[in-house]
Amino acid sequence: MLTTPAPERSTTVPVATALPTTSAAHLSGLLEAVLPEPSLRELLGRAGVPELELHGPPAARPLVVAALARMGNPVLAVTATDREAGELTAELIDVLGAGVVAELPSWETLPHERLSPRADTVGKRLAVLRRLAHPEEGAASPLQVVVATVRSLIQPMLAGLGEISPVRLRVGQLHDFDTVLARLADLAYTRVDMVDRRGEFAVRGGIVDVFPPTADHPLRVEFWGDEVSEIRSFAVADQRTLAPADEMYAPPCRELLLTDGVRAAAAQLVAQAPAGPVAQLMEKVAAGIPADGMESLIPVLAGDELQLLTDVMPAGTHVLLADPERIRTRAADLVRTGQEFLEASWMVAAGGGVAPVDVAALDLSASAYRGLGEVAEHARGAGLAWWTLSPLTTDSNTCLRLQIVSVPPYHGDVERAFADLRAHTATGGAAVLVVPGTGTAQRACEQLRDAEVPAVHAAEGLLQPPAAATVTVVRGTLEDGFAVPALGLVVLTEADITGARGGTGSREMSKMPVRRRNAVDPLALHTGDYVVHEQHGIGRFLEMVRRTVKGAAESTREYLLVEYAPSKRGQPGDRLYVPTDQLDQVTRYVGGELPTLSKLGGSDWAKTKGRARKAVKEIAAELVQLYAARQSSPGHPFGPDTPWQAELEDAFPYTETPDQLAAINEV
């Protein structure tokens, strides 16, 4: 049963709140409601203790971290897996706000593997490290909580990564155009003809397209001389503008940049390394050519300039290990896997084979995973508090037992859950039901009222402590419910009631842009392909060309060269140069028959479109008659969208593909 006594509530929380409550903190009132709990007050009283063991359920993780952060204590929250890190980050953003919480992703590769981590992973990591090193830059609030996996905790990284300045451009600022391009190349961005993936940039005259690894969409930066005149995001699929932007923030795409020092170190080692893959990799690095897997050479190219994640955290940080038993197991597995990888390389190299990492002449052990005990001692030596939060019982006298308990799982038994909520609110207790979507929240309120349970929908979020004798339904990302008997508070999540985890709680409810039908991709066009220009009609694609335009500022731009029918008989066909930033006006020709080329400047294309409009009007007239006949016949009228439909849409656990969105819009 959920029923707990409802004691008198304290109107004053006996702790200082060092962090402002932001508008993005949908569940800030939940933290305010649980802070008066005696064990949490004792926990805050021990803030700064070098070592503390906490006992509590998984649901206590965001509460403990948020309580420490609200007291002004920086927190490094460590989880065993990436999924747990993502869930905890989403929960903390709901409680504290997005401005003070960040997730530090881990590499997808081993430290010595001949593979490089993805550009988006590196970009997010370096953006977080930059905020830690320079909290005064840009953000309204300093970064107070960093969520990371144990993999990031025990993996050494290059020192000074937070000191690498990103490329930041704002509308109205002056920046030397060539310097910006050179800086992008220095930060490991790849120059291409057309931006397609993160970590790429393209140049067309005074326009620079950049796809920062931390952005959802690439950005188009337009220069007027050395002044940034406009920044706007655009879709990769059809290059069409999505929305204007005030700033472009482009962090590096690699953690090992090809600086003069790195290239010089690689040049010295080329002669020492035996012939093989590593020697070839060294040669590329020495020549300033980025190569996949060059991060495996960090120990020999960067010297002893390695540090741990705990070294970059602010003074007074509390390292909190969530479920330390699983973290220790995961850390031991990572250390063993990394060691086996190196040992396998030694054996292959000794047998004359081609090893994945040639360690015969290079000592790469400096970047190997460290043992968790070694990392803990290093953190304590640096003055950081090392705390653990475990759901397992311990007999230690130093263990602080949180008076926060798990709620019973209902496994889809909604009637039993509502009966328990009805009994709990009847005694004056407060309850909160957290669901992932707005439609689900509205439907839950209706179901609760039908079951004679007093309920209210907090559409704007739970910004104040929940009211007594009422179930407050709110949208949020909490995965685990809990109860605080001392306060008469119960919090349930949709996962507690249905038993289904990992739904929409941690995903962004944003839609992908709809790809334009038959959108033209210049890189996929072949000479002779037919295309249709919105203003000039059907033409034949010839090639991509680059032309220099002289005027107030000389600039070079790329164009699609399209051939049209000749204006005079016996003459060569007319040609049209279409700038690549106007590709939204060009589509592929998809007709079944061989088309006739249009004439530039003539009236043929206008007449063709006129005939098409006339045919459309005729079809529309037929449709009007058809709809009139349908109106006169009996039918079943469907009502407006119901909360059930909104609930179904919110519960869809994936981001729709462009084709799916097109089908939805057409229906």
Please write the tens of the pLDDT for every residue from 170-226: 999 999 999 999 999 999 999 998 898 899 999 998 999 999 999 999 999 999 989
Number of Cβ within a 10 Å radius of residue 93: 25
Rounded CA gap, 518 and 168, in Å? 35
Among 456, 498, 465, 460, residue whose Cα is nearest residue 476: 460
pLDDT tens for residues 497-513? Answer: 987 765 433 344 344 44
Exposure string for 630-643, b = 16+ CB within 10 A, e = fewer: eeeeeeeeeeeeeb
Q: Crossing angle for the helix pair 277-286 and 260-270, nearest 10 degrees?
A: 140
Strand partners, 162: none
Q: How sure is the predictor about 340, in pLDDT bands with cuts at 50, 70 and 90?
A: confident
Among 464, 591, 425, 458, residue whose Cα is nearest residue 1: 425
pLDDT tens for residues 260-275? Answer: 888 888 888 887 666 6
Radius of gyration of the chain (CA): 30
Whether 579 and 572 have beta carbons less than 8 Å apart is answered as: no
Rounded CA gap, 445 and 25, in Å? 22
| For the chain, percent of residues with pLDDT exceeding 90 | 50
pLDDT tens for residues 40-86? Answer: 999 999 999 999 999 999 999 999 999 999 999 999 999 999 999 99
Q: How many angstroms separate the Cα of 377 from the Cα of each of 148, 327, 372, 640?
A: 19, 16, 9, 62
Q: How sure is the predictor about 640, in pLDDT bands with cuts at 50, 70 and 90?
A: confident
pTM of the model: 0.74
Q: Give the count of alpha carbons within 13 A of 442, CB side only.
A: 13
β-strand 75-79 against 145-149: which pairing, if any?
Answer: parallel
> What tokens appear for 625 in the block?
């008659």
Q: What is the mean pLDDT of the chain?
A: 84
Among 38, 32, 39, 40, residue whose Cα is nearest residue 12: 32
Using the predicted structure, report yes or no on whether residue 21 has a pLDDT greater than 60. Answer: no
Whether 421 and 407 have beta carbons less than 8 Å apart is answered as: no
Task: Give 13: exposed, middle or buried? Use CB within 10 Å, 0-12, 13-18, 19+.
Answer: middle
pLDDT score recorded for residue 510: 41
pLDDT score recorded for residue 7: 47
pLDDT score recorded for residue 273: 65
Rounded CA gap, 244 and 219, in Å? 9
Using the predicted structure, report yes or no on whether residue 9 has a pLDDT greater than 50. Answer: no
pLDDT score recorded for residue 551: 56
Rounded CA gap, 23 and 173, in Å? 29
Rounded CA gap, 27 and 33, in Å? 10
> What tokens appear for 373 in the block?
């005990």
Whether 387 and 41 have beta carbons less than 8 Å apart is answered as: no
Rounded CA gap, 517 and 503, in Å? 31
State the DSSP H helix or E strand holding residue 360, giving kind and residue range, or none if neither.
none
Q: How sure is the predictor about 656, in pLDDT bands with cuts at 50, 70 and 90?
A: confident
Comparing 472 with 555, the larger pLDDT belongs to: 472
Q: How sure is the predictor about 355, in pLDDT bands with cuts at 50, 70 and 90?
A: very low
Using the predicted structure, report yes or no on whether residue 523 has a pLDDT greater than 80. Answer: no
Among 191, 224, 229, 226, residue whose Cα is nearest residue 210: 191
Rounded CA gap, 354 and 590, in Å? 50
Q: Can you tell me which residue has the tokens 């905020």?
A: 131
State the DSSP H helix or E strand holding residue 296, giving kind and residue range, or none if neither.
none
Q: Helices (DSSP H) in 542-657: which residue ranges? A: 604-632, 643-650
Using the predicted structure, report yes or no on whether residue 616 has a pLDDT greater than 70. Answer: yes
Using the predicted structure, report yes or no on whether residue 241 has a pLDDT greater than 50. Answer: yes
pLDDT tens for residues 360-416? Answer: 456 677 888 999 999 999 999 999 999 999 998 766 677 899 999 999 989 889 999
pLDDT score recorded for residue 498: 86
What distance lies between CA 198 and its chain's CA centroid? 12
* Residues whose CB is less than 8 angstroms from the CB of residue 637 and which lie 6 or more positions away in sequence, other chains included: none
Using the predicted structure, report yes or no on whether residue 39 has a pLDDT greater than 80. Answer: yes
Using the predicted structure, report yes or no on whether residue 169 has a pLDDT greater than 90. Answer: yes
pLDDT tens for residues 543-574? Answer: 888 887 765 456 677 888 999 988 888 788 88
Among 246, 254, 102, residue whose Cα is nearest residue 164: 254
Rounded CA gap, 349 and 357, in Å? 9
Task: Give 513: exposed, middle or buried? Use CB within 10 Å, 0-12, 13-18, 19+.
Answer: middle
Strand partners, 519: 587
pLDDT tens for residues 452-465? Answer: 999 999 999 999 99
β-strand 430-435 against 471-475: which pairing, if any?
Answer: parallel
Whether 364 and 301 have beta carbons less than 8 Å apart is answered as: no
> What tokens appear for 193 in the block?
């003809």
Whether 293 and 113 have beta carbons less than 8 Å apart is answered as: yes
- What phi, psi does 333 have (nearest 5°)? -65, -40
Comparing 125 with 662, the larger pLDDT belongs to: 125
pLDDT score recorded for residue 139: 64
pLDDT score recorded for residue 271: 72
Among 598, 584, 583, 585, residue whose Cα is nearest residue 538: 598
Rounded CA gap, 97 and 26, in Å? 8
pLDDT tens for residues 80-114? Answer: 999 999 999 999 999 999 889 999 999 988 888 87
pLDDT tens for residues 476-490? Answer: 999 999 999 999 999
Among 86, 78, 42, residue whose Cα is nearest residue 320: 78
What distance lies between CA 641 and its chain's CA centroid? 31
Rounded CA gap, 388 and 132, in Å? 23
State the DSSP H helix or E strand holding residue 34, giving kind and residue range, or none if neither.
helix 28-34
| For the chain, percent of residues with pLDDT exceeding 70 | 86
Whether 306 and 299 have beta carbons less than 8 Å apart is answered as: yes
Comparing 520 with 627, the larger pLDDT belongs to: 627
DSSP character string of 527-575: TT-EEEETTTEEEEEEEEEEEEE-SSS-EEEEEEEEE-B-SSTTSPPPE
Whether 484 and 40 have beta carbons less than 8 Å apart is answered as: no
